[in-house]
Amino acid sequence: MSGTASKVGTLLVQGPHRKGIVTSVSQVLNGHGATILDSNHYSDAPAKLFFQRLQFDVSTLATDRVTLEKEFREICENAGMSWRVWYADRAKRVAILTSKQDHCLYDLLIRHRNRELACDISMVISNHPDAGPIARHFNVPFHHLPVTTDTKARQEAAAAELIDRAGVDLIVLARYMQILSPAFVTRYPMRIINIHHSFLPAFVGGNAYRQAHEKGVKMIGATSHYVTAELDQGPIIEQSTVRCAHRDSVEDLTRKGRDLEKQVLAQAVRWHVEDRVLVYSGKTVVFD
């Protein structure tokens, strides 16, 4: 991360639409000497909700961050709005969970090495040993946590301990072929991103490419979404599609789909670590 980028703060605000909220937030920043670098906002008129993403230069602050945040808190609480702020001088820590299919894992690690993802990859966790050499090649700590039906609770507890001890901010399921328990998902609300190999809500669950082939679809897709207790029903962050034909076999669909999976998952991770995503009513606002 460049020195200039590390001096940026990102503020996210959401809640009931209130007249003057944009002006109020801007006045707080100006009053503390912060220079506004970028501002985006969106209003959902039917829901009467407001969303804002604002970036500012931390280096010009005339006060400290604690004082600034105190005023943010007062304004947002008075308006019945939620808010959060993140400073780029502390990159988000990411844990990747994977199984035997390694295409998404490789892609994330390569993008991270090429500085396309503004985060720190703290670890790779897998229920199979296959990903070990890959993680070690990229100098990322690897943890093999095998799982069976009888050991699932203990395996998830061990994973949670590793994740919490490392201060992980985001968990990425890079084709992790295990259904997480509701308890594990609840522990990390809107902090787990999954890649599903279909254009949701079509073809939920496993064997999506086989289901697509059996239906004779002319287009397949991939969906990246936050994980909730209901399988493959979490708020969607990103989706993409590719054409297919009657001649395509299940293997052809799988090959085409894997390219989509990599792109869609990487985009969702990028948007999350850059604080571009706000969740409401089971869906998302994504600021580009």
Q: What's the pLDDT tens digit per position in 94-150?
A: 999 999 999 999 999 999 999 999 999 999 999 999 999 999 999 999 999 999 999
Given pLDDT bands bounded at 50, 70 and 90, which one contains residue 256? Answer: confident
**What pLDDT, on the 0 to 100 scale, is given for residue 18?**
82
CB 38, CB 47: distance < 8 Å:
no
Domain ranges of the chain: 5-87, 92-286
pLDDT(3) > 70: no
Compute the distance between CA of residue 32 and CA of residue 34 in angstroms, rounded to an integer. 6
Which CATH homologous superfamily contains domain 5-87?
Answer: ACT domain (3.30.70.260)
Selecting among 107, 169, 232, 275, the annotated active-site residue is 232
Architecture of the domain spanning 92-286: 3-Layer(aba) Sandwich (3.40)
Range list of H helices, the chain: 21-31, 65-78, 103-113, 132-137, 152-165, 182-187, 208-215, 250-273
HEC letters along 94-160: EEEEECCCCHHHHHHHHHHHCCCCCEEEEEEEECCHHHHHHHHHCCCCEEECCCCCCCHHHHHHHHH
192-196 vs 8-16, strand pairing mode: unpaired
Tokens of 134: 């890959």
Greater pLDDT, 18 or 66? 66
**What pLDDT, on the 0 to 100 scale, is given for residue 2?**
52
**What pLDDT, on the 0 to 100 scale, is given for residue 246?**
86
Tokens of 229: 């207790």
Given pLDDT bands bounded at 50, 70 and 90, which one contains residue 1? Answer: low
pLDDT digits (tens, 9 = 90+) for 187-223: 999 999 999 888 777 777 767 878 888 888 888 889 9
Q: Is the pTM here over 0.85, yes or no?
A: yes
**What pLDDT, on the 0 to 100 scale, is given for residue 206?**
67
Lowest model confidence (mean pLDDT) among 3-7, 106-110, 143-147, 152-156: 3-7
| 164 is annotated as an active-site residue | no
C-alpha 27, offset from chain centre: 30
